[in-house]
A and B are shown apart, each in its own frame.
Chain A
Amino acid sequence: NAGVMQNPRHLVRRRGQEARLRCSPMKGHSHVYWYRQLPEEGLKFMVYLQKENIIDESGMPKERFSAEFPKEGPSILRIQQVVRGDSAAYFCASSPSPGQGANTEAFFGQGTRLTVV
């Protein structure tokens, strides 16, 4: 059972371009979480998704950022018209539904390091 897979591991974009970050959850996991981590800072919650449904996007900037978790395929975090301040490590995690069953442990991917030049 492969772990949470994020790609690319490193992404360089020029200001104004679009960045697409992908996250494939662990097999059997129906929930995905995205976080942003700036250097020397903690993990900031961005969005929490279930397949085809956004559960909580209270941590997402109102503009330029969007996320989806389609019925088939990976979850995508999309950043339009990137700016230098978007440079950070973006992590995703997956878990079974947190309200069901005994094992609701979340696992993280290795992250995507976005650099905007």
Chain B
Amino acid sequence: KQEVTQIPAALSVPEGENLVLNCSFTDSAIYNLQWFRQDPGKGLTSLLLIQSSQREQTSGRLNASLDKSSGRSTLYIAASQPGDSATYLCAVGGKLIFGQGTELSVKP
């Protein structure tokens, strides 16, 4: 049974800091890994998708890496902004199993 864990559960940083969110999974037989953000009371917005054959993906200030053999992914956010405050979730597919998320707060 696939289990996904995200560390830390919560993170508070001052504006401008670079930060790393961690995601680990127990079964390396995945099709892909996807990072989402969720704002309070809202749905999920897709940030980055990494196929199982890829090592990383980049979009703007976001960079996600994937190491299937060790069952880990990281989401790197550069030069954080208050608008980045949200809960960040990783999910592994096919079945899209989610971690519990990291609640990020970026202070002005």
Contact = CB atoms under 8 A, between A and B. Distances in A.
B80 interface: no
Nearest to A103: B49
Contacts of A111: 42-43
Nearest to B43: A110
Contacts of A48: 94-96
B25 interface: no
A6 to B, nearest CB: 8
A107 B32 contact: no
B34 interface: yes
A3 B49 CA distance: 17
A98 B43 contact: no
A85 interface: no
Interface of A: 33, 35, 41-43, 45, 48, 55-56, 91, 93, 95, 98-99, 102-111
